Structure 1
Amino acid sequence: MTTAELHRMTGAYALHALSDEERDAFERHLTDCEPCTQEAAELCATAARLGLAVSVTPRREMREQVLRRITTVRQDSPGSPVPVRSGRARLRARLLSRWTLAACLAAAAALGGTTVWQHQRAEDALGQMRRAEQGTAQISAVLAAPDARNRVAKLAGGATGTVVVSHERDQAVFLAAGMAHPPTGKVYQLWFDDGGSMRSAGLMDPGRSDQAVLLQGAVDGASGMGVTVEPAGGSKQPTTSPLALVNFPA
């Protein structure tokens, strides 16, 4: 593979479109080629921004529509009038009416419980949706900030991590690509490096290999960030050696 061919692989590398052999060769090339390193970092950040740009904000009236529909029970249309009966037929009709009324009351009680459950599920889903929208908006704002700067780091197993920092917003985003799932009962935890003192910056989603995470906390005072494997729920201080330590771009 010639050097000229390696120079043309930055775009495919950013989109994870290289074979394992090509990726290994290109990453060896990056150690000696500053222009390709910079271009690959910028393309990785751009690809992440484009991915976030496809998010759709739901209509404002959707919440009211959902809550209204789940509490609506469709009723059968009225049937034809019941013919008048006499004697044994009237008695049978009264008994049947009582059993029907009891069944309707039981069904109504069950339906009421189901409706409450559905309402709570809808409220929970709407709350999650609002939190996801807020997080996506914050991530997009950092990536699109005029002063945003990024730096790429190599992680274990061929994964890559890109940190994007906006000092004007005092925020940072970590973009992970191709990360292996953590061991069962473990999670990836992010940290701010405050001159050698590690400060928790939040947890990553253990079920996703590619993700964008807004670091929790202020960037001011931090010289970089790190990633460690911690017990589910996270730790107050790192309990394992960092998988990666990345200095923030100037």
Structure 2
Amino acid sequence: MNTADLHMLTGAYVLHALSPEEHGEFERHLRACPSCAQEVRELAATAGKLAAAVETTAPDGLKPRVMARIATERQEPPVVARQARRVNRLGRRAVPRLVLAACVAAAAAFGGIALWQHQQAEDARAQAQRAEQRADELTAVLAAPDAVVSGGELADGARATVVVSRSRNQAVFAASGMPEPPAGSVYQLWYDDEGAMRPAGLMDPSQTAQVLLMDGPLDGATGMGVTVEPAGGSPQPTSAPVALMSFPA
């Protein structure tokens, strides 16, 4: 492959669409070509922004919960002849009181539902703000002037790339073709502090391709690892790593 062809592979490289041979040849070219390195950072920043986009939807089961709440509100029984005579004995002034009580009960019930819905909306808004902040941080790492890229092939044909920015003290991990972990398990990322593993975030087990801002500061980490852990993650690795990658110097 000549140099002109290599200049055309920046997009495919960012999207992990190169063969292992092309990937290795392009990475060697990347170390000697500042213009391609800059284009890769810009394309990776755009891909990261798109991958981190979050759409907030109504919570699952909202309608059944609201309908169940309505079903628990007490209804007035039908008026039979004996009850009708009792109402007549109470006089007309009792009827407005019954109507008022029903209105108060309805207001309380729907007021509680409205408050719950408001809290749900606030939670969703806060979640979206956190996701947007992480997307901005991810993009900043990918676009950092000192960002360096390293990649490799994992088991089962999956590919992984890590981008490290020492100036921002952060790292970004991207993977494609990840097989689904066993039921009840999740892929967990780790910083490798010269052999001591430090938690760095969880991958979404339902996604085969992801771009993640690794949790926590880079600090003195010399590499990273990926293990399969119980859902929710572990404080320390409990399985052999499915991937170990050294951070570029």
TM-score, normalised relative to structure 1: 0.69
* Stretch deviating more after TM superposition (34-43 or 147-156): 34-43
Q: How far is 1:237 from its partner?
A: 1.8
Contact 1:41–1:152 (Cα < 8 Å) also in 2: no
Contact 1:150–1:162 (Cα < 8 Å) also in 2: yes
Cα distance in structure 1, aligned partners of 2:164 and 2:228:
23
- 1:222 aligned counterpart, secondary structure: coil
Cα distance in structure 2, aligned partners of 1:223 and 1:179:
23
Which residue matches 1:15?
15
Instruction: Note the 1:85-96 alignment, pairs <5 A.
Output: none
Contact 1:230–1:239 (Cα < 8 Å) also in 2: yes
Q: How far is 1:202 from its partner?
A: 2.0
- 1:207 aligned counterpart, secondary structure: coil
Which residue matches 2:73?
none
Q: How far is 1:41 from its partner?
A: 8.8
Cα distance in structure 1, aligned partners of 2:131 and 2:27:
36
Contact 2:45–2:140 (Cα < 8 Å) also in 1: no
Which residue matches 2:150?
151
Which residue matches 2:107?
108
Which residue matches 1:27?
20
1:49 aligns with 2:42: no
Contact 1:15–1:47 (Cα < 8 Å) also in 2: no
Contact 1:176–1:211 (Cα < 8 Å) also in 2: yes
Alpha carbons of 1:99 and 1:162: their partners in 2 closer, same or farther (altered >3 Å)? same
* Stretch deviating more after TM superposition (227-236 or 198-207): 198-207
Q: How far is 1:244 from its partner?
A: 1.0
Alpha carbons of 1:135 and 1:9: their partners in 2 closer, same or farther (altered >3 Å)? closer
Q: How far is 1:14 from its partner?
A: 4.0
Q: How far is 1:52 from its partner?
A: 3.6
**Root mean square deviation, CA, Å:** 3.4
What whole-Å deviation, never above 9, does each CA across 1:62-104 have from its counterpart, x for those lacking one? xxxxxxxxxxxxxxxxxxxxxxxxxxxxx99867655543332
Which residue matches 1:63?
none
Which residue matches 1:188?
187
Alpha carbons of 1:185 and 1:169: their partners in 2 closer, same or farther (altered >3 Å)? same
**What is the count of residue pairs matched by the alignment?**
208
- 2:105 aligned counterpart, secondary structure: helix
Q: How far is 1:240 from its partner?
A: 1.2
Alpha carbons of 1:32 and 1:122: their partners in 2 closer, same or farther (altered >3 Å)? closer
What whole-Å deviation, never above 9, does each CA across 1:98-155 have from its counterpart, x for those lacking one? 5543332221111111012112112211221221122112111111111011111212
Instruction: Note the 1:185-224 alignment, pairs <5 A.
Output: 185-224=184-223
Cα distance in structure 1, aligned partners of 2:27 and 2:15:
19
- 1:172 aligned counterpart, secondary structure: strand
Alignment-mate amino acid for residue 20 of structure 2: E
Which residue matches 1:130?
129
Gap runs ≥5 in structure 2: 55-89
Contact 1:41–1:162 (Cα < 8 Å) also in 2: no
1:238 aligns with 2:237: yes
Percent identity over the alignment is 52
Which residue matches 1:141?
140
